[in-house]
Every structure is written in structure tokens, then in C-alpha cells.
A and B are shown apart, each in its own frame.
Chain A
């Protein structure tokens, strides 16, 4: 893992997938320790494989997607337009990069009010 790609912020983003990984891990440990139906070579192997395979699959996909996204972001940062990251409308100009800040809602609100008026006169029903 290149530490510069997986910085703190990326790790935080990836944490959303760490939770299901953790749940699966929990059950792997649980089923290894407690086996009310006993152990049998074939069935227990299948049982574990059913948990381990999705675990590995999810870990791999999370790693590569996280890497691809973080690298793309780093490139944008070099070009000096990180503002575009986290924005779901790539073409539009983004105000800031914090995802949870309301973006100038007032500008749209005025429009909406007037829109209601124009619409009610031009309504056809």
C-alpha cells in the first residue's frame, strides 16, 4: 500500500466497507469457535469458504477502487481543481469540496418561488 495514496481521508471513506468486512470476520471467528452442528470436513470447508471468498472479494475490490479514486483525486489536485471532486456534476463549477455543506441554496430558492407563480398561471389542468 502506498501510504501517500491511502491517506487518512481515503481510509475514512473506505471505512464504509470495513463494517461489512468486520461482520463477516466476526462470523468466521464465531463459527470457528462455536459449532452447534459439529465439524465435518466438506460442510465446514464450504461454510468457511462461503464467508472467506466474499471477504477476500470485497477487500480486493475496495482496495482497487479506493486506489483508483484516490489517484484520480491526486491528479486533479496537481492540476489545481480539487473542487471538482465529490461533486456529482463534473461539468459544473463546484463551490467547495466539503460534501455536507449546503451549496448556495438561496439562489435556487428564489427561482422556485417565482416558478410556482409562473407555473400556476400557465398550468393547463
Chain B
């Protein structure tokens, strides 16, 4: 097609998209979300004195309300999660046999890169922001975030970021980036894919977004607390968000700078990270100085969610509340001192290496302290196995495996053997999938009544949990074993010298991992179905969906929920839907 033809098409497409946008703004009464739990619908312009939010899509495009922005983050994160999940399912199917039967290696590398970056930056960080935007102001008694507009801007940087990161798949004829999520030089400089440049720009945008959000949370928690909230009774979730925001503030700007240097290396021949210039190791230092704190950026708030939700169903307060606070802060500081445990095998000075090992051992203590606090909280408690509680328990058990395998890797001699094998993949997936995602679901189920005013379906929720628990452990335990067998990570195909390893064993373990991945995928479908269907048709919840009102565990956010219900238009007394129970297991 000639140039003018393409131009005409582009203009036509633009007109069409504007048309769609205009049409959407006219759709009123989006059933999917009524901020008043029952009765009222926003957008009925019948001359009330109160100023209503605009209706339809305009509302979502212009909102600066922290709860709405929380919902936007959540929707965005879930879309990213599905994208990253589909990518990995294709990869796992490919790995079910040793040869390249389904896809070729280049495409595998593209999926691998997309999966890692999507899950960490487009799912992990935003799903946490979904909870923190929605609940931190409610929990600390603030009206909204300190800077509501900056909050909205921070979110709206993300969609273009995602489009740039996925550009290699979305733009026909452009090969996806194949750098893996670590973007190690010199590979990432030498690869000519234009998609890599777009991906780096997209990553930069998401980093700016996270930093803006973090500054906002620090300002909010420091200055917007209600009169009766002080440092001694600040809830544990807000504590973890405060620490996480501090980490983001120090880590993400560094990633941004390093990304710009990498872009300059790629496009203008600067030599920050080249062998004859600076050094490829320099990239690793900068990347991991960001990258290790990043893993704690991802794990601290989920730990906060578990510390917050788990006591509710143990019938007692969190054991050693202040231990959990101080250990969170300790992790915050120490996480900046361990980055080179990702670089033990790069040939850095052995004395320096030893120091990184020492601090890595020290950082395991605060994590272990938290684990003991969770277990002690449950010990002799009145445990109710509701779905959020099941996910909390799953979190603790998976976190233990992930943490212990991490301590092994932090020992230099062990790491030199297991580095860049599937053992590492198993280690961090026990944490990012087995723990972080599990805690996210504990939070999603626990607060579902607040988000939607409805109750989810109990049986489906438990099916989701068990599919995930079994799937996660099958997949990632198989990976730990694959690592012991010497299977290297990041390969689309595999073959082994029969004198060293039996290929059948490797293949069988890969098949187990693939099976687990499909169980997880199936569980995810059950979850999406449950949440969507219950949103439309679930029974309305009462003021106290978890039966906590008479204990000391009724949270501030549920008090807010109760006020909202009481001030809502009366709707003729729905039956109360209480907890999803659990004693019957």
C-alpha cells in the first residue's frame, strides 16, 4: 500500500476511535459498579444538591477519587495478569517435550521477556497499588490521597507504558524484544529489535508512574492521618505501604537512569555497558541495585495484607504487632545491601562477594520473624477456614519454601552450582506466585464485599484456592528438582548427555510443571467467572460480612462500609450474607 493510502487509513481509524469514545461516554448507568452499595446509581442528573460524578466512561477517565483509581489499577493489573499468564502457558506447552514442536526459539524468548516484565511491572506493582489506593486512605482516616490529581496521572501513565512494552507483539512485522526481564548487556545492546527500544521506553513510563505513586503515599501517610491515628496504632498494611514507597523512591529512579543509559548505548553508540567502554557488569550492578529492592517492593505489601487479614480469621490480634513493623523497616534498609547476590558468578572480588552473602543472611531474619508471628497468631486461635484465610495459610506455607530456597542461594558455594538453573526459577516463583499472588487473592476475597457490595460464591472460591495450591506446588517443586538435575533456565529446547542426566527424567519433570501451570490457569478461569458472576447476581452483603463486629477485629474500612450502607438509600431489607464460613472443612 502506498503512503497516502496508509495515511488515509490512519485518519479513518482515528475518527473511528473518537467515535467509539463519544459513544461510550453516552452510556449511562454502568451496571458493573455502583459506589453506593445498594439502591443509588451515580449519574442520574435529577438536580440533587450534591455534585455527581459524571457517568459512563467519562467518569473513569476523569476520576481523581482514590477508590475509583484503586479499581482502575485493579482492572489494569488483571488484564496484565491474563496476558502474562497466556504467554507462560504457550511456553510451558512448548516445554512439555524436548524439541521445538510448537513455537520457534525466538518467539519463546519474546514470550519469556514479555511474561517476566508484565508480571513484575504491569501486574505485581499495580495490583498492590490497587489495594493501597483503595484502602490506605480509608484505614488512616484520610479523605483522599494527599495529591489526588497526581494519583490519577500516575495511573494514566501505565496504559501507554503497557502498550509500549507489548508493542513487539501488537505491531505487525515487529519482532518482540528478546532480552529477558533482566535486560543483561551486552545482549540487550546488540539486539536490533526496535521493540526493545519501545519496551525500554514503556518500562521507563511505568517507573515514573510508580515513583509518583510512592511520593503520594509517603505524603498521604505522613500528613493526612486522622486525629486518632498515630505511629503506634497505624495499621500494619499502611506500614508496609509506607516502607514500600520508600523503597520505590530510592530504587525506581535508578532503574530509570540505567534504562536511559541503555537506550543511549543502543541508539547513539555510547559505551556505558560495553566491554570496551564501561562494562556489562556495570549494568548488572545498576540493575540489581534496583532489582533486589524491587522484589521486596513486591513482597512487603502482600505481607501487610496477610498480617492484616490472617488475624481476622484466627480470632485474635496479630501476635507481636511491633515485631512485624520493625522487621518490615529492617527489610526496607537491608534490601539495598544485597544486590550482588544475583552476581556471585560474574567474577567480582571474593571479599566483596562475602559481604553480600553476610547481609543476605541477615535479611533472612526479619522475614523469618514475620513467619513466626503469623504461625503464632494462628496457634491455638479459633481458625475459620474462609477463602481469604485459606489463601493466607497458602501464603505462609509457600513463603517458607521460597524463603528457605533463597537462603540456600545466598550461600555462595551453593549459588555457584545452582545459578541460572530452574532452581532459581522455582525459588522466586514460590515467592512471587506462591506468596505474593496468594496474598493478593486473600485481599481480593476479603474485601470483595467492600468493592462490590456483594458476596462471592463460596464453593467456587475454594475450588480456586485448591487448584492454585496444588498447581503452584506441582509446578514449582518440579522446577526446584529440575534445577538440581542441572536444567538451565531460559531455554526453549533441551537435550542432555545421557551419561550425566536421563532426558526422560527432565522431560517428565517439565510435564509435571506444565500440568501444574494448567491447573493454575483453570483455577484462574474459575476465579474470574466467580467474581464477574457474583458482581451481577450475588446476594447483597450486610454491614458485617465476616462476623467480626463483636470482636476487636472489625477494621476501620468495614466501619466505613457500614456507614456507607447506613447512609445509602433504604432498599427494603435484603437478607444478610455473612461470612463464607469454613468450619465445615
CB distance from A79 to the nearest CB of B (A): 10
Q: Is the CB of B577 within 8 A of A118?
A: yes
Q: Is the CB of B555 within 8 A of A92?
A: yes
**Partner of B359 from A48, A54, A66, A87 at Cβ < 8 Å:** A54
Q: Is B45 an interface residue (CB 8 A)?
A: no
Q: Is the CB of A90 within 8 A of B359?
A: no
Which residues, 308 to 365 on B, are CB-close (under 8 Å) to A? 308, 311, 315-323, 325-327, 329-330, 332-334, 336-337, 349-352, 354-356, 358-359, 361-363, 365
Q: Is A7 an interface residue (CB 8 A)?
A: no
Interface string of B187-229 (1 = CB under 8 A from A): 0000000000000000000000000000000000000000011
Bound Cα distance from A17 to B234, whole angstroms: 19
| Interface segment, one of B79-87, B111-119, B398-406, B456-464 | B456-464
Q: Which residue of B lies closest to A91 (CB)?
A: B556
CB distance from A35 to the nearest CB of B (A): 7
**Partner of B358 from A23, A71, A89 at Cβ < 8 Å:** A23
| Interface segment, one of B66-74, B92-100, B437-445, B543-551 | B543-551
CB distance from B66 to the nearest CB of A (A): 18
* Given contacts A35-B351, A86-B322, A88-B317, A116 and B333 within 8 Å (CB-CB): no
Interface string of A1-34 (1 = CB under 8 A from B): 0000000000001101101110110010001000
B interface size (C-beta, 8 A): 80
Q: Is the CB of A20 within 8 A of B232?
A: no
Which residues of B sit under 8 angstroms from A50, Cβ to Cβ?
Answer: 337, 352, 355-356, 359
Q: Is B576 an interface residue (CB 8 A)?
A: yes
Interface string of B555-585 (1 = CB under 8 A from A): 1100100000000000000011111111110
Q: Is the CB of A111 within 8 A of B579?
A: yes
* Given contacts A72-B232, A90-B229, A91-B556, A99 and B382 within 8 Å (CB-CB): no
Q: Is the CB of A102 within 8 A of B382?
A: yes
Which residues of B sit under 8 angstroms from A53, Cβ to Cβ?
Answer: 337
Q: Is the CB of B547 within 8 A of A31?
A: no
* Given contacts A89-B556, A93-B552, A99-B319, A16 and B330 within 8 Å (CB-CB): yes
Q: Is B417 an interface residue (CB 8 A)?
A: no
Q: Is the CB of B319 within 8 A of A122?
A: no
Which residues of A sit under 8 angstroms from B232, Cβ to Cβ?
Answer: 69-70, 72-73, 76, 84-85
Bound Cα distance from A17 to B141, whole angstroms: 29
A interface size (C-beta, 8 A): 73
Q: Is A78 an interface residue (CB 8 A)?
A: no
Q: Which residue of B lies closest to A94 (CB)?
A: B552
* Given contacts A47-B352, A102-B382, A103-B551, A112 and B329 within 8 Å (CB-CB): no
Which residues, 509 to 563 on B, are CB-close (under 8 Å) to A? 534, 537-539, 547-548, 550-556, 559
Which residues of B sit under 8 angstroms from A95, Cβ to Cβ?
Answer: 552
Q: Is the CB of B326 within 8 A of A119?
A: no
Q: Which residue of A lies closest to B349 (CB)?
A: A43
**Partner of B235 from A21, A31, A57, A90 at Cβ < 8 Å:** A90
Q: Which residue of B lies closest to A74 (CB)?
A: B232
Which residues of A sit under 8 angstroms from B556, Cβ to Cβ?
Answer: 89-92
Q: Is B380 an interface residue (CB 8 A)?
A: yes
A-B CB pair tally, cutoff 8 Å: 246
CB distance from B203 to the nearest CB of A (A): 28
Q: Is B369 an interface residue (CB 8 A)?
A: yes
Q: Which residue of A lies closest to B385 (CB)?
A: A112
Bound Cα distance from A50 to B351, whole angstroms: 10
* Given contacts A37-B350, A89-B556, A108-B551, A16 and B362 within 8 Å (CB-CB): no
**Partner of A62 from B329, B559, B577, B578 at Cβ < 8 Å:** B329
Q: Is the CB of A86 within 8 A of B555?
A: no
**Partner of B365 from A23, A88, A89 at Cβ < 8 Å:** A23
Q: Is the CB of A24 within 8 A of B358?
A: yes
* Given contacts A57-B333, A111-B547, A119-B581, A87 and B552 within 8 Å (CB-CB): yes
Which residues, 32 to 88 on A, are CB-close (under 8 Å) to B? 35, 37, 40, 43-44, 46-48, 50-51, 53-54, 57-58, 61-62, 65-66, 68-73, 75-76, 84-88
Q: Is B266 an interface residue (CB 8 A)?
A: no
Interface pairs A-B: 8 shortest CB-CB: A105-B315, A111-B547, A116-B581, A115-B578, A105-B382, A27-B358, A54-B337, A50-B355
- 11 additional contacts (CB under 8 A) given A108-B550, A116-B583: A20-B365, A47-B352, A50-B352, A58-B334, A65-B329, A69-B231, A69-B325, A85-B232, A86-B322, A92-B556, A115-B580
